[in-house]
Structure 1
Amino acid sequence: MRIAVDAMGGDLGPRAAVAGAASAVMADPGLDIQLFGPARHLDDEISRLPRPFAAASSRLCVVDAPDVISQDQRPAEVLRGNAATSMSGMLACLAKGEADAGVSAGNTGALMALARRALGMVAGLSRPAISTAIPTRREGRCYLLDLGANVDVEAERLRDFALMGDVMARRIDDLAHPRVGLLNVGVEGTKGTASVQRADELLRCETGLHYLGFVEGDAIFSGEVDVVVCDGFVGNAVLKASEGLARMLVRRVQATFEAHWSSRLVGWLARPALARLRGELDPVRYNGASLLGLDGIVVKSHGGADAAGFHYAVARAAREVAHDLPGCLAAELGQRRSAGASAVDDGRDASGSRTLAGTVTDVVDGETSQQEQR
């Protein structure tokens, strides 16, 4: 399995990406990784790897990409730029079939725009959605999407998010009937924006989808649902708030046990349990967000991820390759769209109502430059 890595996008520079990639190939003997970035910097980082990772260097291939996309560059500027950046090189390698998946911790907007241009979309989808797993109370996980790729979304796109999340949960987690919920300010049918209420109507018409209706924010962590759908503005706020809450809880627990000599004794006895809790709540363990809907596998690592976090992002990409997630999305969503278009076409009235296929085409062709900029 071949993974292409943009090694220059993270806040910690190439050190975290190189060390995380080395850790990933040590853990998976069937993995080979191509590292894109300035060759001199990457070779230096590989030479600094600890001795246990020395054997991994033979499966790390450096590809020289002298330029780097900064975190503050706008997607439109990046699209007009040169192809010598580490991110562009990684995506070009993926588009040419020389890698099975790509991983980057770089500029999210730039990654979205470049990946969409390089790889295209599946099943008539117009834009990718970012999805990641959230730990739940019942020792499982819940997929949350979108996480920032689409801030203002229409009902039809929220429906697409739900269908993509359903496919991911079935294929990656082997769930027979993933429970899907639509995030809202309440479970009552009268609450929510017009697009959310319309999306609820559309999802209730989707056959074969285990749709539970509206859910509130606490359902993400309760384990009552497997997929939660929302727009990118809400999803990004929920994700960042949950990461901050997890870190705060771990620190509060540690501070409580260190406050007095008696609690320090109890804390010493409870250290194994506290270590497990820290591991379960650590956002690093769930690092790696999928860009769903692309005709290829691209995983976005958190910009601040360390080597361990980057390892998890590479491992997530490898899992998606093993399950051929884009192929599954293309087949299942394409089949749904064909069935829906046929049903609408069969029932069109004498005035010639537009079919679902026509509506999808209109959405793709009619995207505004403002949407592209976001």
Structure 2
Amino acid sequence: MTKQKEIVVAIDGTGGDRGFLPVVNAVRFALALYPSLKLIIFGPSDLSSALAKAGVDAKRYEFRLASQNIPQDEDPKEVLSGYRKSAMRLAVEAVKNGEAHAVVSGGGTGPFVVLCRHILGTIGRVRPALCARMPSGPNHFTLMLDLGANASSSAEDLYDFAILGNAAAKLYQGISDPRIAVLNVGTEAGKGNRLIQEAKELIRADHNLLFEGFVEANRIFCGDCDVIVTDGFTGNVALKAAEGVASIFAKSSGIKRFFAKLACPDWLTPWQYNGSLLLGVNGIAVKSHASAGDEALAVAMVEAAKAAQCDLYELMKEELERTVSKR
């Protein structure tokens, strides 16, 4: 068996709704799950003390002091001009400088996307998008994007997302001809607003893409397609709605909890799929949910390591350069 190369992932230890508290257990879980993983952890001195107290193997991580935290709703101009010593910025810069293969943050989506686009840059003129694996059966996933990297999108942006999703499904999922669909209010050809209709025409006209038509939100987890394309606003709303339903099942009590578990199979448990890849930037960047628990944050770290291990960025860059050049 070929030995895996050591993968270094930079961690923003200040992000998330619960601060740095989930980071300690998440680091322990991630290091146990992925033996070839090494971490560079940026955060406050209290986090350093907590990691040492928890007995985390000091040979598997490096701690760097960065107590500055970027508010989730900070203005993009302030994000770029200030916060030079923030954990999020320093973690992204570690990828840019070649010290880390990937970065993971549970901080604000807006600041994270702004920093990644500014510091890492984008692949050509493709607009980056957040892409996540949506469970659609045991060991089967559908990629969905954009999930919130862009507040508004044009038809051309949705076409870019289709190209990004197509490349990711090929390289990350191993699907030779990914089936692509656009999220819509109906499956009929004439349904949807002007944005959806224009995006449909752009995607359908590209013979490098296998366009299947429209998919409705109630079919996201059914495996009808391999890639679901939507704008960032709609995608984020759909994702949060799905998470809310899952949370209701998970928080049931007594006999309701028993039947809820029967109704909700293990492969639908949300924390197993935490971590959205920011596709289209020059590097591997993973956004963890701000409210993610210990196990979920660990999953995001492992997903970043897996993406780096299979050289996802390099392969995607090659794929996009071939695809976009034919436009």
| SS state at 1:222 partner | coil
| SS state at 1:16 partner | helix
For 2:13 and 2:134, locate their aligned partners in 1 and report how far apart those are by CA, in whole Å: 25
Do the aligned partners of 2:73 and 2:110 also contact (CA within 8 Å) in 1?
Answer: no
Do the aligned partners of 1:26 and 1:56 also contact (CA within 8 Å) in 2?
Answer: no
Q: CA deviation at 1:246?
A: 1.4
Match of 2:315 among 309, 325, 328: 328
| SS state at 2:326 partner | helix
Going from structure 1 to structure 2, the CA distance change for 1:149 and 1:208 (only over 3 Å counts) comes to: same
Q: Deviations over 1:248-302 (max 9, x none)?
A: 23445x54457xxxxxxxx5xx9xx948946423211111011110000110011
For 1:298 and 1:4, locate their aligned partners in 2 and report how far apart those are by CA, in whole Å: 10
Aligned equivalent of 1:25: 31
The count of residues paired between Structure 1 and Structure 2 equals: 321
Return structure 1 stretches of 4+ with deviation > 4 angstroms. Answer: 275-278
Q: Deviations over 1:109-137 (max 9, x none)?
A: 00111111110001322x32011111224
Question: Which entry has the higher C-alpha Rg, 1 or 2?
Answer: 1
| SS state at 2:177 partner | coil
Q: CA deviation at 1:324?
A: 1.9
Q: CA deviation at 1:327?
A: 1.8
Q: CA deviation at 1:108?
A: 0.9
Aligned equivalent of 2:284: 297
Matched-pair identity in %: 36
Do the aligned partners of 1:6 and 1:103 also contact (CA within 8 Å) in 2?
Answer: yes
For 2:254 and 2:213, locate their aligned partners in 1 and report how far apart those are by CA, in whole Å: 40
Is residue 239 from structure 1 mapped to residue 244 from structure 2 by the alignment? no
| SS state at 2:158 partner | helix
* Structure-2-length-normalised TM-score: 0.92
Going from structure 1 to structure 2, the CA distance change for 1:248 and 1:139 (only over 3 Å counts) comes to: farther
Q: Which runs of 5+ in 2 are unaligned?
A: 1-6
Aligned equivalent of 1:190: 190
Q: CA RMSD in A?
A: 2.0
**Bigger share in helix:** 1
| SS state at 1:315 partner | helix
For residues 7-46 of structure 1, what are the structure 2 equivalents within 5 Å? 7-38=13-44, 40-46=45-51
Do the aligned partners of 2:171 and 2:316 also contact (CA within 8 Å) in 1?
Answer: no
Do the aligned partners of 1:32 and 1:59 also contact (CA within 8 Å) in 2?
Answer: yes
* Structure-1-length-normalised TM-score: 0.81
Is residue 47 from structure 1 mapped to residue 52 from structure 2 by the alignment? yes
Aligned equivalent of 2:297: 310
Going from structure 1 to structure 2, the CA distance change for 1:139 and 1:26 (only over 3 Å counts) comes to: closer
| SS state at 1:29 partner | coil
Query: In structure 1, what residue type is equivalent to 2:17?
Result: D
Q: Which runs of 5+ in 1 are unaligned?
A: 259-266, 341-374
Do the aligned partners of 2:249 and 2:261 also contact (CA within 8 Å) in 1?
Answer: no
| SS state at 2:221 partner | helix
Aligned equivalent of 1:118: 119
Q: CA deviation at 1:65?
A: 1.4
Going from structure 1 to structure 2, the CA distance change for 1:45 and 1:276 (only over 3 Å counts) comes to: farther
For 1:48 and 1:305, locate their aligned partners in 2 and report how far apart those are by CA, in whole Å: 22
Do the aligned partners of 1:288 and 1:316 also contact (CA within 8 Å) in 2?
Answer: yes
For 2:18 and 2:56, locate their aligned partners in 1 and report how far apart those are by CA, in whole Å: 24
Going from structure 1 to structure 2, the CA distance change for 1:47 and 1:323 (only over 3 Å counts) comes to: same
For residues 147-166 of structure 1, what are the structure 2 equivalents within 5 Å? 147-166=147-166
Do the aligned partners of 1:129 and 1:150 also contact (CA within 8 Å) in 2?
Answer: yes
Query: In structure 2, what residue type is equivalent to 1:111?
Result: F
Query: In structure 1, what residue type is equivalent to 2:295?
Result: A
Query: In structure 2, what residue type is equivalent to 1:114?
Result: L
For 2:195 and 2:262, locate their aligned partners in 1 and report how far apart those are by CA, in whole Å: 43
Going from structure 1 to structure 2, the CA distance change for 1:276 and 1:36 (only over 3 Å counts) comes to: farther
